[in-house]
Every structure is written in structure tokens, then in C-alpha cells.
Amino acid sequence: MFSDVMAKNEASSLLCRPASEVQAPVFERTSLAYSPCSERFTVGERTFSRQYAHIYAARLMQMRPLLSERAQQKWGSDVLIRKLCDLQTGEQCCIVGTLFKRMELQPSILKEISDEHNLLPQPARAKYISETDELILEDELQRIKLEGKIDRDKCVTGSVIAIYGAEKNDGKFTVEEFCMADLPPQTPRSTLTSDRFVLLVSGLGLGSSQADSMLGLQLLVDMVTGQLGDQGEQSGAAKISRVLLAGNLLSQSTQDKDAATKPKYLTKKTQAGSVEAIRLLDELLCQLAASVPVDVMPGHHDPTNYTLPQQPFHRCMFPLSSVYPTLQLASNPHQANIDGVRFLGTSGQNVCDIQRYSSMDSHLEILEDTLRLRHLAPTAPDTLGPDGQEVLLVTIPHFSSTQTACLVNLRTLACEPISFSAFSADDEEESEMNVSH
């Protein structure tokens, strides 16, 4: 762990008399092999003529062979695998298809603009699930309603799964068991002889009114750049070989949704709230990139395109930090190979969307489901697959509200939170700044 690395070093030198004759030691930062793998998330010419049906059809076509093989492993090589058009009433068989969840509470623009029903706009909800939801499985040709041993509330639209059961006389398919594609075969990972860390940070929330979060953020920057703590902590910080900022860098308060509808004479002498936030971000990145390689992903409230995959920030936004070759402006999702460990992550929009449309509240549980469904499945970075695959699932807290980041050890794949507490208005006079692991 990162705290153990620092504990191995000499005792604290902060309270010692400075030795002017002896030059302080210089710690060289550990370097890592790095190769970006996000080319598939780079969008060239955007086209909006494709319908969702083509996306689902391509997904099913790619996943069907994998799920057929997985079904034979689970239910035997002699299991019948039928298409929906070939189903016979009462026959025990396996079907493969894409789940569709019919939800009464799901927001629909067609409902909101319907003049016939005179409906009021649907209110925003934390969850859109209800007792009237229905699960439907569809393939290339038709669809069928599902009932039986499948948790309707946990399922979400778009999941491609294999189901074992039988069609009943009422035309519904009774589910006895189901399976996902599960983890793919894992590429071998090289063995590292020493500890080296990647720092994961998300949700900086720049542009908000929380001054204590800015102080905690500066503490984080000072720790990474080796300007915080004694020699032991500085030598530990030298083992942080890369920093990954996983989106949501700007606060929601920087978003002015009414800017497009306001009269120009009211906004002539004002600037968007995101301008000052981007300037702060540029200054922070300048401090980091001068000392350590940094990957920067966009997020929900950041100035880039809204739909996934989000494209990297434009370099012109960062005049100070963009001069450093260590600054890597990445897409969302972002994939990279760091010293033989493959990182694949998003800024959280996909996880939050699944949380809204299912009963699952744990972000780690949602991540595990996306992994087993192979919708965002890394082939290498402490969940064990059926063939011994190792995958580390990490959810990163919002730094603006928790002052907490995550350190991943590339040698052991252990994850450790690191917190930066600072003065706040509610603290007593004895309060002090603190960095804890």
C-alpha cells in the first residue's frame, strides 16, 4: 500500500534543524510504459441518420456466438438454442436476445409533446422503475414477454443475455435460468518487481463556492508534485507515476442553461461561469503536468459534446498546461495500457443511467454487471472470473465533496483511498490540515 511505502522511509525530518551544508535529496519519479488505446472512441464525421435498431442488431450479432458457447457450458452441449421464430410451446430450450424494459415512468419526449393527451411534463425522478414494468426479449425478427426467475428491477434495456426456459400457452416465455457472456479470456500481465502507483481523481467541481475543496485540491497537487510532507512522503510521492482525472472537472453551477434564450443586451458584458473554472483547471494542470504525466477526461458538466463518446478537450482551452508533452487530453470512455495493466473507464454517465433505470444502487455492483455483460469489459487489470481472470473495479468519489482520491498499485492491483482534509467554516480553532491514507 502507499502508506506502507512511506512508512519504510526514515523518520520525519520536518521538526529537525535544517542542515544548510547538506543538499536535500532529489527523488526521481518512477516512469511507466504508456500506450493510449482510445482510438475506437474517436469520432470523425458525426452522422445522426442511423436508428437505434441497427445498433442493437449489430450488438446482438456480435454477442450471439459468445452467449451460445456460454449457454452450452452452463446447461450442457446438447441444449437446444432456438431463435424466437422457431419456438415451440412447452419445449425446454435456450434463447439469445436483447432485453427491452417497458417502463411507464421512463421519460418520453413523444409523451411530453402530445397534444391529444394534454400531458404535463414528467417530473424528474431518482428512479424510473415501477411495479408495472415489463421485460421483453427481442432478436432480429420478433420479441417475447418474459416471466419467471429473472429480477425485473435489476435488468436494463440493451443487455444481451441467454435465457433457459420454455414458452407457455399464453405466449410468454417462463425463465428458469439465464446467463451473461461473462469475462473474456485475459491477456497475460507482466510481473512488476516494485510498487508504482496511478492516482485516480474525479469530480473536482471547479467553479463552485466551496473554498475548502479548493484547499484540499491544492494539497493533493502539492503532495503529487513532492512539495508536501517530509522526505519520506516525498519519496513515496515519487512512486506516483501517472495521474488520471476522470471527468466532472467543472461544477454544475457553471452551467447556464438559459444563456441561449436570454436577450443579448443582458449578457453582453458577462462571461460564462465555465470560463473562470477552465482557467483554474489550466493552472492546476500546469502544476501537475510539470511534474507527472496527466490524463484528462471530460465529464457530464465539462465543455465538450454531450453524447457518448465524449471527445477530448480542445488544447486551446489550456494555454499554460498544453505546452507540456505530459498532458494527455483523453476521450470519455478512455482506455490505456499502463505498464501492462489495461485501464478502461468512464466519467460515470453510463453507471448513473443504469442506477436510474434499475433497482441497483451500488456503483460497484453496476460496474460488475457491465463487465459480465461485456458492454465495457477490460481484458486485464479483485473480482475473479470462472477462468481465473483478475479485474479491479474502482468507483472514484467526487473530490469536491469528499476530498478523496484513489491510488492504484500496478504491482498488486490494490486500491487505497487518500484523503485531504482542510479548514472549513464549521471547524474549531484547533483544526488543522491533514493528509491521510
As a whole number of Å, the CA-based R_g of the chain is 26
Give the chain's largest Cα–Cα span.
91
DSSP state of 208: S
- pLDDT band, residue 52 (cuts 50/70/90): confident
Q: Which of 187-191, 248-252, 357-361 has the lowest mean pLDDT?
A: 187-191
Over 90: is that where the pLDDT of 69 sits? yes
CB contact at 8 A, 205 and 398 = yes
Instruction: Tell me the C-alpha distance between 85 and 142, whole Å.
Output: 7
Which residue's entry shows cell 483511498?
Answer: 417
CB contact at 8 A, 380 and 176 = no
Exposed, middle or buried, 270 (CB in 10 Å: 0-12/13-18/19+)? exposed
202 vs 259: which has the higher pLDDT: 202
Q: What is the dihedral of CA 310, 196, 363, 96, to 10 degrees?
A: 70
Helix (H) or strand (E) holding 240: strand 240-246
User: Which has the closest alpha carbon to 174: 139, 131, 137?
Assistant: 137
Over 80: is that where the pLDDT of 259 sits? no
The confidence score (pLDDT) of residue 377 equals: 33
The confidence score (pLDDT) of residue 379 equals: 24
292 vs 59: which has the higher pLDDT: 292
The confidence score (pLDDT) of residue 285 equals: 95
Cell of 411: 504491482
Exposed, middle or buried, 210 (CB in 10 Å: 0-12/13-18/19+)? middle
Cell of 426: 464549521
Cell of 430: 484547533
The contacts of residue 412 (CB under 8 Å, 6+ apart) are 195
Q: How far apart are the first and last CA of the chain?
A: 9
The 10s digit of each residue's pLDDT in 99-126 is 988 988 877 666 655 545 565 666 677 8
Instruction: Tell me the C-alpha distance between 224 and 218, whole Å.
Output: 10
The 10s digit of each residue's pLDDT in 77-101 is 999 999 999 899 999 999 999 998 8
Cell of 290: 510539470
Pairing of strands 160-167, 434-436: unpaired
The 10s digit of each residue's pLDDT in 216-239 is 889 999 999 988 888 888 888 899
Pairing of strands 390-391, 404-409: unpaired
26 vs 281: which has the higher pLDDT: 281
Over 90: is that where the pLDDT of 269 sits? no
Q: What is the mean pLDDT of residues 168-194?
A: 86
Over 50: is that where the pLDDT of 191 sits? yes
The confidence score (pLDDT) of residue 31 equals: 85
DSSP states of 353-391 = HHHHTSS---HHHHHHHHHHHTSS--S---EE-TT--EE
The 10s digit of each residue's pLDDT in 344-379 is 999 988 888 888 888 999 999 988 888 888 866 322
The confidence score (pLDDT) of residue 15 equals: 60
Q: Which of 51-60, 205-214, 277-286, 308-317 has the lowest mean pLDDT?
A: 205-214
Pairing of strands 160-167, 173-179: antiparallel
Exposed, middle or buried, 268 (CB in 10 Å: 0-12/13-18/19+)? exposed
For 52-179, CATH gives: 2.40.50.430
23 vs 414: which has the higher pLDDT: 414
pTM of this prediction?
Answer: 0.82
The confidence score (pLDDT) of residue 107 equals: 74
Domain spans, the chain:
2-9+28-43+185-256+271-436, 52-179
Cell of 8: 519504510
The 10s digit of each residue's pLDDT in 403-434 is 899 999 998 889 999 988 755 545 544 444 56
The confidence score (pLDDT) of residue 187 equals: 79
Helix, strand or coil, per DSSP, at residue 158? coil
The chain-wide mean pLDDT, for the chain, equals 81
Looking at the chain, how many residues does it have?
437
2-9+28-43+185-256+271-436 placed in CATH 3.60.21.50 = yes
Share of the chain above pLDDT 70, in %: 77
The 10s digit of each residue's pLDDT in 135-179 is 999 998 899 999 999 999 998 888 899 999 999 988 899 999 999
The confidence score (pLDDT) of residue 215 equals: 84
Which residue's entry shows cell 483547471?
Answer: 281
Instruction: Tell me the C-alpha distance between 101 and 127, whole Å.
Output: 14
